[in-house]
Amino acid sequence: MPVALPHCSLFLNIPYTPGRQIIDAGLPLAIASDCNPGSAPSSDLRMAWSLATHQMKLRVDEGLAALTANAAYAVGAEARMGRIQPGMDAHVILTKPMADYAELPYFTSEQRIAQTLIYGQ
């Protein structure tokens, strides 16, 4: 599965993964932060989602799928994470009230996340 690392493109000033072309070709796409001090000093997945929508031309829903279900599949964890359904690990964010989840990758400087749950805690 192709995995895009938008923070690397941002911090190294290199071309972004052609996400729109990958998806239009019928391939799935995962997005990761690749957080490391050399080429991607950020673990902010909302910013990675924002870069994917703005620079790689993904729709908001495609970016969310790339960050969740597709990312879980890319690391072999699709049987236990990447989706919200019974029996899955509950790693979720709870947001403050907003009109639409599509606001998340667009308002990256505003704190819209109210709580983060890891294994439901």
CATH architecture of 3-117: Alpha-Beta Barrel (3.20)
pLDDT in tens, the chain (121 residues): 999 999 999 999 999 999 999 999 999 999 999 999 999 999 999 999 999 999 999 999 999 999 999 999 999 999 999 999 999 998 888 889 999 988 888 888 788 889 998 988 8
Q: How many CA atoms lie within 13 A of 72 on its CB side?
A: 16
pLDDT at 120: 83
Taking the CA atoms of residue 73, residue 36, residue 48 and residue 8 in that order, the dihedral angle to the nearest 10 degrees is -100
- The DSSP element (H or E) to which 93 belongs, if any, is strand 92-95
The token pair that represents 113 in the structure block: 């996340």
pLDDT at 39: 92
pTM to 2 decimal places: 0.89
pLDDT at 106: 85
The residue extents of the domains of the chain are 3-117
pLDDT at 31: 98
The token pair that represents 30 in the structure block: 């995962």
pLDDT at 27: 97
CA distance 79 to 87: 9
